[in-house]
Amino acid sequence: MSLQLISINVERSKHLDLAVPFVESEAADVVCVQEIVEADIPLLGRSYPHHVFAPMQRRIDEEGKPVSGVAIFSRVPSTFGSHYYAGSPDSVPESYQDALNKAEASNRILLVAECEKNGTRYRIATTHFTWSPRGEATKDQQADMEKLLALLAEYDEFALCGDFNAPRGGVIFAQLAERYKDNIPPHYATSIDLELHRAGKLRPHELVDKMVDGLFTTPGYVASNVRLVSGVSDHCAIVASLLKST
């Protein structure tokens, strides 16, 4: 039996009225979430008894200065690990909107879940990779990608999902696609929801080819029924079934 997976960038608390019903209706085994506000974990994860959260930043331009980060929720028995490839678990950087392109504006974490379903163990990893203006490759992205790839090399088999902030076809995305299988079907051109993204109405032409969310697998995993779902956040959600091939 396959493991049902969702990956979604919820854009903090802005779309929970859409994201929460979607997650609950899909009833996936594992849900990987980027840009989740720590205070929203009980709401989004109320159907998931196992979870892990790692803080990335504190947005000081928003009321309440919420801490946001990455999380993995699981319905099946799971153990978790976290690896920082930028920043430190000892601090949560404060971030302004106009400081998003600075390396020190956010921690970057690879979260890993070891999940067991019906006697089969799955390894699911997720990250929210380094932001860059208009999806252009930067020195900060290159430095962080080298660190991320080194962390991934410590694991033999896994499925990796998340918001990579680097479009398919670009040099940063290609470093993942050269090593692991890109499972997003080619007929999808963008993972940005043009109706809900803040730049969707202002610069839609810049977003129509930005496939920045991904699902990558090593040879030991097979992803099937992969689809993108719009209308749930400013990014489309990735939905997939995973099977162990070995």
Structure tokens at 83: 């690896």
d(CA 31, CA 22): 11
Question: Cα dist. 157→52, 137, 153, 242, 244 in Å?
Answer: 20, 27, 9, 13, 9
Please, what is the average pLDDT of the chain? 94
- Mean pLDDT to the nearest integer, 185-193: 98
Structure tokens at 232: 């749930």
Structure tokens at 242: 């995973």
Per residue, the 3-state secondary structure of 43-86, as one string, reads HHCCCCCEEEEEEEEEECCCCCCCEEEEEEEECCCEEEEEEEEE
- For the cut 50, the answer to whether the pLDDT of residue 67 exceeds it is yes
Among residues 238, 246, 244, which one has the least CA distance to residue 28?
Answer: 238
d(CA 110, CA 86): 10
- For the cut 90, the answer to whether the pLDDT of residue 246 exceeds it is no
Q: What is the pLDDT of residue 53?
A: 98
Q: What is the pLDDT of residue 101?
A: 47
Pick the CATH number of 3-244 from 3.40.50.11900, 3.60.10.10, 1.10.3720.10, 2.40.50.140: 3.60.10.10
Q: What is the pLDDT of residues 194-229, one digit of tens each?
A: 999 988 878 888 899 999 999 999 999 999 999 999
φ, ψ at 3 (rounded to 5°): -100, 130
Rg of the chain in Å (alpha carbons): 16
